[in-house]
Chains A and B, each alone.
Chain A
Amino acid sequence: MTELLLARAQMAMFFAFHIVFAVAGMGMPVLMVIAEGAHLRTGKPVFLELARRWARGTAVLFAVGAVSGTVLSFELGLLWPRFMAFSGGIIGLPFALEGFAFFAEAIFLGIYLYGWGRVPPLAHLLSGVAVALGGVLSGVLVVAANAWMNSPTGFLLLDGKPTAVDPIAAMLNPAWPTEAIHMTLAAFAAAGFAVAGIHAYKLLRDRENLFHRHALAIAIAVGGAASVLQPVSGDFNARFAARNQPAKLAAMEGQWRTERGAPLRIGGLPDAARETTRFAIEIPRGLSLLAFHDPDAEVKGLQAFPRDERPPPAPVHLAFQFMVACGTTLAAVSLVGAWLARKDREGLYRPRFLRAVVACSPLGILAVEAGWAVTELGRQPWVIRGVMRTSDAATPVSGLALPFAFFSALYLALGVAAAWLLRREVAQSPSFPRGDGILRNEGGQE
C-alpha cells in the first residue's frame, strides 16, 4: 500500500470506530431521559431501573467515544497537515464551538452518572437533558466541518491560499443543514434500533418482563420515528448532491452517461473498464425523478468528468445501495410497529415482530458506516471539493503502517472489551414481572 492509501485507510478506521460511540453519545441520553422522565411522572421503579442501567452502559460507551474523538482531533493534523494548514482558520469555528458542546456533555454526564441520589430528582433529569442536547450539538457542529469539505464556502482562493476568510459563511455552508439533520436522525435511528434489538431479544425469552417491555417501547418509539423520517431526509441529501456534487451523485447511482430521463438503478455493479453499470434493475426515469423531481431532467454521468476527477464508483454505489436498503427496511419495520401498536402496546410484543426487531438491530449503525463511506469516498479525489486534492493534503511522514497496525489492534481490543462489559450488563438484567412492577430479582443490582 502507498503511504497515501495507508493514511486514508487509517483515517477511515479512526472514523468508523469513533462514529459508533458518537452515535451512542447522541442517542442514548435521549433514551435515558425519557425513561427517567417516565419514572418521575409515574413513580414506577421499573423506569428508574431502566434509566440507571442505560446510564451505566452509556458511561462505558461515552468514555471510549471521548478518547477516540481526542485521537481524531490530533489525527487531522497528524495525517492531513496540509489540509489543516489550509482549512484550520476557515472551519475552526465549529470545532471551537464543538469543544464547548463536549464540555457541556461531559460535565452534565458526570453529574448524571454519579449523581443519583446526590442531586434532587428534577435537577438530575435536567442534567440528562443537557447531556442529550450537548450530544446532538456536538454531532451537528462537527458535521458542519465535513459539510464544508463537500461544499466549501467562506473564502476566496488566491495563489492557492485562502483569503477574505469568513468563518461564519464557512460554517453556514449549503451542505450543512441536510447533512446535520440526516446525521442526527441517523444517530437516533441507529441507537434506537440497536437498543430495541437487545430488549426484543430478551423479551423473546422472558416475554412478561416489564423491564424489557418498557425498554423496547421507548427505544422503538425513538428509533422508529427517526427511521420513518430518514428516507425523507435522505431525499434532500440526494437532491442536494445532484445539484452541488454531481460527480458524487453519478458515482452513487452508477450513472456513466449524461442523459435526460435517467433510470434509477437497484443493485448492479459499476464496471470502470467498460464504463457501464451491469446487473442492475433499472426503473426508467426513476433517477431523474428522484434527484430533480422531474422525470425528464438531465443527470450528469461520470463520463462528464475527467478520469482523475471521478470518485471510485463501485464502492460508492454499493455503499449507497446498502444504506438505502437498510433505511427502507428500518422504515418499513417502524411503520409495521406503529400499526401493531395502534390500539395498545401489546401488539409490539408478538414474537414475529420481536424477531424482526432483533434482525434490524445492527442495520442502523451499518447504514451510518455505509453513509459515511458514500460521503467520504464520493468526494474523492478531493479532500476539499474542487479546492484541494487528498493526495496534496497527506502528511510527508512515512512508515504509517506501524501506527495503523498498532491503533487497529488497540481499537479492536477496546471494542471487544466494551462489548464484553455490555454483554455482562445485558445478561444480568433485572426481572420486573408483569402486574405489580416491583423488583423481584436482586441478581444484577448494584
Chain B
Amino acid sequence: MPPLPDLVAGSILVSLIIYALLGGADFGSGVWDLLSRGPRAALQRLLIAHAIGPVWESNHIWLIIAVVVLFSGFPQAFAVLSTALFVPVTLMLAGIVMRGAAFAFHSYRLHDEGGRSRWGTIFAAASLLTPVLLGTIAGAISSGKIRAQEAIAVGASLTWLAPFPLSVGLLTLAVFSHLAAVYLIFETTDPDLREDFRLRALWASVAVAALLILTPILAHAGASDFYGALLGSGWSVGLVFLTASAALGAQVALLLRAFPLARICAAAQAASILAGWGLAQYPFLVRPDLTVVSTASPPATLRLILYSLAAGAVLLFPALFILLRVFKREALFGHPRDPNTV
C-alpha cells in the first residue's frame, strides 16, 4: 500500500477531479448562460438553470472536501498557499459567493422572470471568472515561484500574475465550458437546442486543444521544474497519448453526433489533464519547498482522515446515486424524455 501521506494527497486530487467533472461543469454552464445568443437564448438559459438547480450544492462540496483534507492533512502547505496566494484565493471566493447566491436568487424567481435578470447576469459573469482564478491558483502552485519562508514572512505574492498560471486559468475555463456544453446536450430532446450545444462544445474543444499546446510551452519558461516532470517522466508519453486521444475522440464524436462517446471523452480529457497536473506535482505539494511528506500531519491524523473519507464514501455514494437518479435520469440513465418539456 502507498504511504499514508500519498494516499491523503491522492484523495485531494481525486476530490478535485470529481469537482472539475461535476462542479466545473456547473461553472461552464454559467459561461454558456453568459454567452447565450440567438432565437433560443431564453430557452438555453432555462435549460441551464434546470440542469444545475438540484445538484450544484452537492457538486460544490467536493471543493470543500478538498480544502478540508488539505488543511487537516497538510496544514503547513495550506498556510503557505493561503498566504502567498491571498489575492487570487480571495477573488475566487468572491466569485464563488456571487455565483452561488446569484444562482439561487435567480432560480428562485425563474418562474416570474423567465429570461435574463440581474441575478442571472451576476451568476453568469461569476461563472466565467471563478474557473480562471481556480486554474491560475493551480498554475501558481506548480510554477516553482512560491517560496515557503518568504510567504510566511512577507505575505501575499504576485507570482500568480504570470503567463503560465494565467494560461492554466484559461485552460480551466475552456475545459469546464467544454464539459458543460457536452453535458447539456443530454439535458434536452429538442433537436435545435441540442445542435446549439453541440456547436458550442465543438468550439470549446478547439479552445481546449489550443490551450493544451500553449500551456506546456509557457511552462517551459514559467515553470521549468514542473515542465520537466510533466514531459520527462516515465508516464509522460502515456498521459499525453491519453489526453490527446480523449481530445480527438471528443471532437470526432461531436462531429458524428455520437454524444455518449463525446461525453466519455470529454470527461476523460478533463480527468487526465488534472491527473497529469497532480502527477507532475508529485512529490511536491508546493514547488519547490513543500513536499507531500514534509508537510504531512502525524500518521494518526492521516489515518483518521482516510477512515472518515472511506466511511463518508460508503454512506454518501448511494445517496448521491439517488440524487442523480432522480434528477438526471434522462441525462444519465437514458430514459426517453417528454419532448414537450425543455
Contact = CB atoms under 8 A, between A and B. Distances in A.
B and A form one assembly: yes
A88 B71 contact: yes
Interface in B306-342: 308-309, 311-312, 315-316, 319-320, 322-323, 326-327
Nearest to B55: A110
Contact of B305 (A66, A67, A92, A102): A92
Interface in A50-106: 56, 59-60, 62-64, 66-71, 73-78, 81-82, 84-93, 95-100, 102-104, 106
Contacts of B46: none
Given A63-B101, A85-B76, A406-B94, A77 B81 contact: yes
Nearest to B82: A77
B58 A103 contact: yes
A213 B202 CA distance: 56
Contact of A166 (B90, B97, B108, B300): B300
A148 interface: no
A104 B72 contact: no
Interface string A379-401: 00000000000000001111000
A107 B94 CA distance: 24
- The winner among B53, B63, B64, B305 for most chain A CB atoms within 10 A is B64
A396 B152 contact: yes
Interface string B90-130: 10011011111101110011010000000000000000000
A256 B77 CA distance: 43
Given A114-B327, A396-B153, A71 B64 contact: no
Contact of A89 (B60, B83, B298, B319): B298
B13 interface: no
B304 interface: yes
A51 B262 CA distance: 41
A93 B305 contact: yes
A92 B104 contact: no
Nearest to A396: B155
B97 A414 contact: yes
B54 A70 contact: no
Contact of B71 (A64, A76, A82): A76
A92 B86 contact: no
B313 to A, nearest CB: 9
B218 interface: no
Nearest to B15: A99
A336 interface: no
Contacts of A418: 101, 105
Nearest to A411: B97
A98 B73 CA distance: 15
A110 B327 contact: yes
B89 to A, nearest CB: 6
Contacts of A109: 57
A201 interface: no
A167 interface: yes
A162 to B, nearest CB: 8
Interface residues of B, number: 65
A97 B308 contact: yes
B58 A110 contact: yes
Contact of A70 (B74, B96, B315): B96
- The winner among A74, A99, A130 for most chain B CB atoms within 10 A is A99
A74 B94 contact: no
Nearest to A85: B79
Contacts of A85: 75-76, 78-79
A421 B113 CA distance: 13
A115 interface: yes
A165 interface: yes
A395 B72 contact: no
A383 to B, nearest CB: 14
Contacts of A412: none
A414 to B, nearest CB: 5
B79 A84 contact: yes
Interface string B260-298: 000000000000000000000000000000000000011
Nearest to A98: B68
Contacts of B100: 63-64, 66-67, 70
A77 B74 CA distance: 12
B217 interface: no
Given A64-B101, A74-B82, A110 B323 contact: yes
B212 interface: no
Contact of B79 (A62, A77, A398): A77
B300 to A, nearest CB: 6
Interface of A: 56, 59-60, 62-64, 66-71, 73-78, 81-82, 84-93, 95-100, 102-104, 106-111, 113-115, 118-119, 130, 165-168, 395-398, 403, 406-407, 410, 414, 417-418, 421, 446
30 contacts: A59-B108, A60-B105, A62-B104, A64-B100, A64-B104, A70-B64, A71-B96, A73-B71, A74-B82, A77-B78, A77-B83, A78-B89, A81-B79, A88-B72, A88-B79, A89-B73, A89-B298, A92-B69, A92-B73, A93-B305, A100-B311, A107-B58, A110-B58, A111-B326, A165-B298, A396-B154, A406-B94, A410-B94, A410-B98, A417-B101
Given A75-B93, A109-B57, A395-B83, 8 more contacts: A73-B68, A92-B69, A92-B301, A95-B71, A103-B58, A396-B153, A410-B97, A446-B111
